[in-house]
């Protein structure tokens, strides 16, 4: 039985992951973490998630439950993730990190800490999105420099970061496949007299509105034709399923920082 703790458990993703974990026959939810002072601290996490009581209360301290935990699924704020990751390293447990919006300094710290344990980290846990990344790498290599590349992402109006971590991951994969430096080739939105589009440019555009779970479109366009690769999330269930699959995989993984592509294409269990 894999013993799971979820952070950010009262958020939309946390509730969805809770619903998924309690249905898994080989998993047991042993910890439910939300920031200290949250009004639902002390509540049964099953009730918070909209399912039956499961006898696990929401708490504000990850350290209190780490001893009885095999893997932590982390969907919280960047600063909280850094703190939680340090605690997981100290306890030598496994972790799945789906938090986005890290600063460069935070990301460097997270990667250094994650390398010390068994950790899967990705800005999008959807299995479909991670297959999309693989496909985009192949398409970019096949089409080469003759196609203009634009990425459009759409999310709900409460999303804090833009572009989304997923959009950045998609364009990073494309830039790497084409041998481009995204720091130089990337452009984020356009306004005013921008002039002729540079051939090496990779554009990214963020749209915010309503309750959209997440849409990502990558457009390859040239004279006479265009090719679009599209992923649409109808709800957060796909993200939850991917995070749960990653949690099952990582408990037996070698120590180090792993990508979701390893979860998809390596089967060591």
Catalytic residue among 155, 216, 231, 258: 155
| Structure tokens, 48 | 């918070």
- 196 phi and psi, to 5 degrees? -65, 140
Sheet with 2-7: strands ordered across: 58-59, 27-33, 2-7, 71-74, 94-97, 118-121, 256-258
Phi/psi region, residue 28 (left: phi>0; alpha: psi -120 to 50; beta: rest), is: beta
Distance CA 68, CA 62 (A): 11
Catalytic residue among 38, 77, 159, 205: 159
Among candidate residues 110, 78, 91, the one with its CA nearest the CA of residue 3 = 91
Is the Cα dihedral 161, 171, 240, 213 positive or negative? positive
Sheet with 214-222: strands ordered across: 186-188, 202-208, 148-155, 214-222, 225-233
Say if CB 45 and CB 32 are below 8 A apart. yes
Question: Known catalytic residue: 159?
Answer: yes
- CA 152 vs. chain centroid, Å, equals 17
CB atoms inside a 10 Å sphere around CB 22: 18
Distance CA 132, CA 244 (A): 19
Question: Known catalytic residue: 241?
Answer: no
Say if CB 157 and CB 213 are below 8 A apart. no
Active site residues: 155, 159
């Amino acid at each position: 039985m894999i013993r799971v703790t979820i952070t950010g458990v009262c958020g939309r993703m946390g509730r969805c992951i809770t619903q998924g974990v309690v249905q898994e026959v080989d998993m047991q939810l042993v910890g439910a973490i939300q920031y200290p002072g949250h009004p639902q601290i002390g509540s049964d996490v099953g009730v918070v998630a909209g399912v039956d009581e499961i006898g696990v209360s929401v708490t504000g301290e990850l350290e209190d439950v780490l001893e009885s935990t095999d893997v932590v699924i982390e969907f919280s704020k960047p600063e909280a993730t850094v703190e939680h990751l340090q605690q997981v390293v100290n306890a030598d447990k496994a972790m799945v990190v789906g938090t986005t919006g890290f600063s460069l300094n935070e990301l460097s710290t997270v990667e250094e800490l994650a390398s010390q344990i068994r950790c899967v980290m990705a800005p999008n846990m959807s299995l479909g999105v991670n297959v999309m990344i693989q496909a985009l790498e192949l398409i970019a290599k096949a089409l080469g420099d003759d196609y203009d590349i634009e990425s459009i992402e759409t999310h709900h109006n409460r999303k804090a970061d833009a572009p989304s971590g997923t959009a950045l991951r998609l364009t990073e994969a494309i830039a790497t496949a084409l041998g481009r430096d995204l720091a130089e080739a990337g452009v984020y939105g356009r306004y005013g007299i921008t002039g002729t589009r540079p051939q090496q440019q990779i554009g990214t555009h963020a749209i915010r509105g309503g309750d959209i779970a997440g849409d990502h479109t990558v457009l390859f366009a040239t004279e006479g034709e265009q090719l679009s690769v599209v992923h649409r999330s109808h709800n957060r269930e796909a993200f939850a399923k991917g995070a749960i699959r990653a949690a099952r995989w990582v408990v037996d993984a070698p120590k180090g920082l792993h990508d979701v592509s390893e979860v998809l294409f390596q089967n060591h269990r």
